[in-house]
A and B are shown apart, each in its own frame.
Chain A
Amino acid sequence: MSDRVHYTLYHPKWYRKPVSVWWWLERWPYTKFVLRELTCVPVGFFALVLLWQTWALLEGEVAYQRFLTRMESPAFIALNVFFLGGILFHALTWFHLAPKAMAVRIAGRRVPDGLIVFSNYVGWIAISAIVVWIWMSR
Chain B
Amino acid sequence: MAETITLTIGRYRPEQEAEPTLQEYEVPYRKDWCILDALNYVKDEVDGSLSFRWSCRMGVCGSCGMMVNGQPTLTCAAFLSSYAPGPIKVEPLQYFPIIRDLVVDITEFMDKLKKVKPWLVRGEEKPLSEGEYLQTPEELDSYKHHSMCINCLLCYAACPVIGLEPGFTGPAAIALAQRYNLDSRDEGSAERLAAVSGDEGMWQCTFVGECTEVCPKGVDPAGAIQQYKLTGATHWLKSVLLPWGSK
Size class of the contact patch on chain A: 20 to 34
The interface residues of chain B lying within 8 Å CB-to-CB of A103 are 223, 227
The interface residues of chain B lying within 8 Å CB-to-CB of A108 are 138, 141
Q: A100-B220, A100-B226, A103-B227 are in contact. Are A2 and B98 (CB under 8 A)?
A: no
Q: Is the CB of B20 within 8 A of A15?
A: yes
Q: Is the CB of B167 within 8 A of A2?
A: yes
Q: Is the CB of A100 within 8 A of B223?
A: yes
Nearest chain A residue, comparing its CB with the CB of B167: A2
Q: Is the CB of A19 within 8 A of B220?
A: no
Q: A11-B105, A15-B14, A23-B160 are in contact. Are A29 and B210 (CB under 8 A)?
A: yes
List CB contacts (< 8 Å) of B135-168 with chain A.
138, 141-142, 160, 163-167
Within the complex, the shortest CB–CB distance from A10 to chain B, in Å, comes to: 9
Across chains A and B, the number of contacting residue pairs, with CB separation under 8 Å, is 83
Q: Is the CB of B208 within 8 A of A33?
A: yes
The listed residue (B98, B105, B164, B167) touching A4 by CB distance below 8 A is B167
A2-B167, A23-B163, A33-B209 provided; 10 other pairs, C-beta below 8 A?
A: A5-B97, A15-B18, A27-B210, A33-B160, A33-B207, A97-B226, A100-B222, A101-B223, A102-B227, A103-B227
Those 9 A-B pairs whose CB atoms lie nearest each other, nearest first = A101-B226, A14-B97, A100-B223, A19-B163, A108-B138, A13-B14, A16-B97, A33-B208, A15-B98
Residues of A within 8 A of B (CB): 1-2, 4-5, 8, 11, 13-17, 19, 23-24, 26-27, 29-30, 33, 37, 97, 99-103, 105, 108, 110
A sample of 24 cross-chain residue pairs with beta-carbon separation below 8 angstroms, ordered by A number, consists of A2-B165, A2-B167, A4-B166, A4-B167, A5-B97, A5-B166, A11-B107, A14-B14, A14-B97, A14-B99, A15-B20, A17-B20, A17-B95, A19-B163, A23-B164, A29-B208, A29-B210, A37-B206, A97-B209, A99-B223, A100-B209, A101-B230, A102-B227, A103-B227
